[in-house]
Amino acid sequence: MAVTLKERREMEKFIELLAFSTVKSFYPTAVLKYAQIDSLEAVFDFLIRCVEDGELKLIWEVKCTNDEIICARKLLKVDQKATVLNKNVCCDICGKEFTVTNYDLFPAFEITQEYRDLIREDLKKKKICTWIKLS
C-alpha cells in the first residue's frame, strides 16, 4: 500500500525526532500512531527502506509468551532471527520456559549512530544559520 507525501514526511519527521532523543529502539506501531497512518504494512515497508538506506537497523525482540499472566517481558534482542529460533529460553519474571518460534519474535528498529550524527549535525547548522540571520 502506498503512502501519501504527507504521511511519508510525517514518518521521516518521527525518525528525525527520535534521532535527537535518547530512545534506543521503537516499534512500527509507534510510527503508525505518530503519522496517523492506517496501514501497518505501509509503515513497515517504509521502515525497511530506511534500513536499506542505512538510517535504521532492524532488530528482533524475543518476548515471554506466558498467556496465563500476560507477562510479555522482553527477554532477548538479536540482529538475526536465526540466532534464537528453536532455542530454549526462560523468563526471569514468570519462570515460563519455551522454545522460540517466529511467533515469539517482534520487529523493532534502532536508529543507526551514523544517521543520528548526521541529523544532529544538520540541526547545529540550522541553529548557526538562524543565529547569523538574527545578528
Q: How far apart are CA 126 and CA 128, in angstroms?
A: 5
DSSP summary character for residue 79? S
Query: Can you give the pLDDT at residue 132?
Result: 54
CA distances from 111 to 38, 48, 50, 88 (A): 23, 12, 9, 29
pLDDT string in tens for the chain (135-residue length): 678 999 999 999 999 999 989 999 999 999 999 999 999 999 999 999 999 999 999 999 999 888 788 888 899 999 999 999 999 999 998 999 999 999 999 999 999 999 999 998 887 776 655 555 555
Record the pTM: 0.84
Q: Which regions of 16-104 does DSSP assign to beta strands (E)? A: 56-63, 74-78, 88-90, 97-99
